Amino acid sequence: MYPLLFRAVLSRFDPEFAHHAAMAVIRVLGVPPFFSAARALTRPAPELAVEALGLRFPSPFGIAAGFDKNAVGVRGLAALGFGHVEVGTVTAIPQAGNPKPRLFRLIADRAVINRMGFNNAGADAAARRLARLRRGAPDAVIGVNIGKSRVVDVEAATADYVASATRLAPLADYLAVNVSSPNTPGLRGLQAVETLAPLLRAVKAAAGKTPLLVKIAPDLSDEEITAIAELAVAEGLAGIIAHNTTVSRDGLLTDAATVEAAGAGGLSGAPLKKRSLEVLRLVRSAVPAEFCVIAVGGVETADDVRERLAAGATLVQGYTAFLYRGPFWGREINRELARRR
């Protein structure tokens, strides 16, 4: 039913409006007794549980950062079967993000272009919501993805990240440093090893005992990816998230005029699958077996999840396919993973 609903109705709505409407429903699912009823239908099979980062993940499959920017839908997403929810990207200073429109579907490619620009209510607001969640036992692992506030100069980025980490790490199961979004000016320059090393060192100190990961871009060269992976190990990080959206537009089925009209921003969805696997294998080859690698990019099916796990991923995340597969996407993947173990 959902594919028909998407083609006939949802695809006609502005993508950002449709996302907010979906989030309103997801938030309702997080409220008792709706949570209990939904969870009874979607709870991952016990044999899917994964031990990583000193935590127990109910399933290897979770929802990537960007879907729930303000930690408002965590319980609802857990009710839909996701084993972890990475909220954010959260910035120390609240910000509205880039001007609208800033989210575009490429339906022929099952992809999305976004230039949201870290729109979020800020670290203090996220911390208050996370504190309430912690009192209510969300039944999912919660990661928090942090980024640089737009009004802060790149030269002052470390202090800005540290402010977010200090506020949010005590409330997060793990913390992810986002230096790879293409939608904040100058941000990707922080991935240079000589710049990234002191930033990660400072954030790790602020995070304390909370596991710290770094999220990288797929547009880096293979040599740069390997160097960052080795740096993450050397600095004592707990893992790497591979990867963020891409600025590439290669190999798209959508007509060039539509792609050009969408403009700048990060591309996510099915077209990233090949590069995602390449980046995953590069990272895994450069880090110890016990090092956590979270694979994201082009994940749609249980077979995609299995492929990432077989290639060395500890955990797998998705986002864009939610738009095209619908609310039972997480449940479908978990059931297929359990059926074909």
Task: Inform me whether the pLDDT recorded for 5 exceeds 70.
Answer: yes
Active-site annotation holds for 181: yes
CA torsion angle 138 144 150 151 (round to 10): 80
Q: Residue 229 and residue 220: Cα distance in Å, rounded? A: 12
Percent of the chain with pLDDT strictly greater than 90: 89
Mean pLDDT score, 263-272: 96
Q: What is the pLDDT of residue 137?
A: 62
Q: What is the pLDDT of residue 188?
A: 93
pLDDT band at 138 (very low <50, low <70, confident <90, very high): low
Q: What own/partner pairs with CB < 8 Å and gap ≥ 24 does 24-33 have?
A: 25/76, 25/327, 26/73, 26/76, 26/77, 26/80, 26/327, 27/72, 27/73, 27/76, 28/76, 29/75, 29/76, 29/79, 29/80, 30/73, 30/74, 30/75, 30/76, 30/77, 30/78, 30/79, 31/75
Residue-wise pLDDT tens digits, 205-246: 999 999 999 999 999 999 999 999 999 999 999 999 999 999
pLDDT band at 7 (very low <50, low <70, confident <90, very high): confident
Residue of 149, 180, 181, 268 marked catalytic: 181
Residue-wise pLDDT tens digits, 278-321: 999 999 999 999 999 999 999 999 999 999 999 999 999 999 99
What are the structure tokens assigned to 316, written together? 């797998």
Mean pLDDT score, 63-70: 97
Residue burial 155-190, b: 16+ Cβ < 10 Å; e: rest:
eebbebbbbbbbbbbebbbbbbbbbbbbbbeebbeb
Residue holding tokens 């979906």?
22
Q: Look at residues 286, 184, 198 and name the one whose alpha carbon lies nearest to residue 242.
A: 286
Mean pLDDT score, 249-270: 96
Considering Cα of 57, then 60, then 65, then 71, what sign does the dihedral take?
Answer: negative
Residue-wise pLDDT tens digits, 166-187: 999 999 999 999 999 998 988 9
Q: Residue 219 and residue 245: Cα distance in Å, rounded? A: 9
Q: Residue 322 and residue 269: Cα distance in Å, rounded? A: 10
pLDDT band at 135 (very low <50, low <70, confident <90, very high): confident
Burial of 198 (0-12, 13-18, 19+ CB in 10 A): exposed
Residue 269 forms beta bridges with which residues?
111
User: What is the secondary structure of 74-134 as a DSSP string?
Assistant: HHHHHHTT-SEEEEEEEESS-B--SPSP-EEEEGGGTEEEE-----B--HHHHHHHHHHHH
Percent of the chain with pLDDT strictly greater than 70: 99
Q: What is the pLDDT of residue 244?
A: 95
Q: To the nearest whole number, what is the mean pLDDT of the chain?
A: 95
Helix (H) or strand (E) holding 7: helix 2-8
**SS3 assignment for 280-336:** HHHHHHHCCCCCEEEEECCCCCHHHHHHHHHCCCCEEEECHHHHHHCCCHHHHHHHH
User: What is the secondary structure of 201-213 as a DSSP string?
Assistant: HHHHHHHTTS-EE
Q: Residue 59 and residue 41: Cα distance in Å, rounded? A: 15
pTM summary value? 0.95
Residue 147 forms beta bridges with which residues?
91
Contacts with 16 (C-beta within 8 Å, 6 or more apart), sequence order: 100, 101, 102, 103
Mean pLDDT score, 89-103: 97
Q: Look at residues 2, 18, 93, 62 and name the one whose alpha carbon lies nearest to residue 305.
A: 62
